[in-house]
A and B are shown apart, each in its own frame.
Chain A
């Protein structure tokens, strides 16, 4: 199973790990860290939206958060997903 990662555990950042799933399994998101209790729903929504914009539909995502806001989360999801699919990270 292919896996790719992006981000750090520095303040205001997060580590996003994206792994391939079987076709049809959809997007699953697991999270841990400071903001999860308060913003878990929003984190899942942003993660799924970012992946769908990249035309990625079957992956499992793990997020270790250290206070990343929405902008940083989306950037890290995109970087990890682009690394997974081997595309040009632009």
Chain B
């Protein structure tokens, strides 16, 4: 399982952030060619992002590029430029239609085979930033084997829902639950949107704990200071890891003896408990498996 607790956005026309963003040790970086780049600078940002990708110094980060939306005339040039650099994935904004994902899948395959990259290597992360995109989230998440995650939008989604931001983001409760359900039904990650108030650490902590409880695997990040807070919340504690190990050992022993269930710390250990324990170890980076 690839950890995707944090994905740090790096503005595509900002050399300082593009070259140094990975040093803050997020699980992934998103080189952004979309909203962070003025329309007049798209060409220049594309060249800069290409050269930063070619340099390839991103530590252990999963490297993705947010391309321009598929209803613009920019997305083809974006993928033709960045995919041959061997990135881990692309992030598509404002996805509404599974047909667009199939079109993207084909386009990526063509570029990969021309560039000598294994076909299917480039993953797709879908941003669902409209009511229609959220409504179709399961169909989108299953439209290609390349889909690694689906992510609800923030401000764009609020605008499409004809609402505004509230203190606890109550307006996004429904969309977030739908995305989590669709993602897990499809076997992909559910990754949450950014927390925009970069000075409010308590608010970030509260929201992150809540989305973790809902079933998200991580959040996008717009400021490096947000990374340690989110990592702390999404990383199992030593006590949780120890307990998960004991549960898995006890379950293995029981299976070897032909027993169906067993007790650990006075609690019955059955299949769902073992599954949760395995997930805890995957999150701690101590066990392979899980979603793409």
Contact = CB atoms under 8 A, between A and B. Distances in A.
30 contacts: A8-B13, A10-B16, A11-B16, A12-B15, A12-B16, A12-B19, A13-B14, A68-B15, A69-B15, A69-B19, A71-B19, A71-B55, A72-B15, A72-B19, A75-B44, A75-B48, A75-B50, A76-B44, A76-B48, A79-B47, A82-B43, A83-B43, A83-B44, A89-B44, A89-B46, A89-B47, A90-B46, A90-B77, A90-B80, A90-B81
A54 B139 CA distance: 44
Contacts, number: 51
A20 interface: no
Given A79-B44, A82-B43, A89-B44, 19 more contacts: A6-B44, A8-B13, A10-B14, A11-B16, A13-B16, A68-B15, A69-B15, A71-B19, A71-B55, A72-B48, A72-B51, A75-B44, A75-B48, A75-B50, A75-B51, A89-B43, A89-B47, A90-B46, A90-B81
Contacts of A6: 44
Interface of B: 13-16, 19, 43-44, 46-48, 50-52, 55, 77, 80-81
A10 B13 CA distance: 10
Contacts of B44: 6-7, 75-76, 79, 83, 89
A48 interface: no
Interface of B is mostly: helix
Interface residues of A, number: 21
Contact of B15 (A13, A79, A82, A89): A13
B19 A75 contact: no
A45 interface: no
A71 B51 contact: yes
Contacts of B48: 72, 75-76, 79
Interface pairs A-B: 6 shortest CB-CB: A89-B43, A79-B44, A75-B48, A12-B16, A72-B15, A12-B15
Nearest to A7: B44
Interface in A18-63: none
Contact of B43 (A69, A71, A74, A79): A79
A89 B41 CA distance: 11
A78 B47 contact: yes
A10 B14 CA distance: 8
B292 to A, nearest CB: 30
A40 B190 CA distance: 49
Contacts of A69: 15, 19
Contacts of A88: 77
B65 to A, nearest CB: 14
B114 to A, nearest CB: 14
A7 B47 CA distance: 11
Contacts of A89: 43-44, 46-47
Nearest to A5: B44
Tell me which of A8, A75, A89 has the highest count of chain B C-beta atoms within 10 A of its own C-beta. A75
A15 to B, nearest CB: 11
A12 B47 CA distance: 16
A72 to B, nearest CB: 4
A76 to B, nearest CB: 7
Name the residue in B14, B19, B44, B46 with the highest tally of chain A Cβ atoms < 10 Å from its Cβ.
B44
A74 B197 CA distance: 36
Nearest to B19: A12
Nearest to B81: A90
Nearest to A6: B44
B52 A71 contact: yes
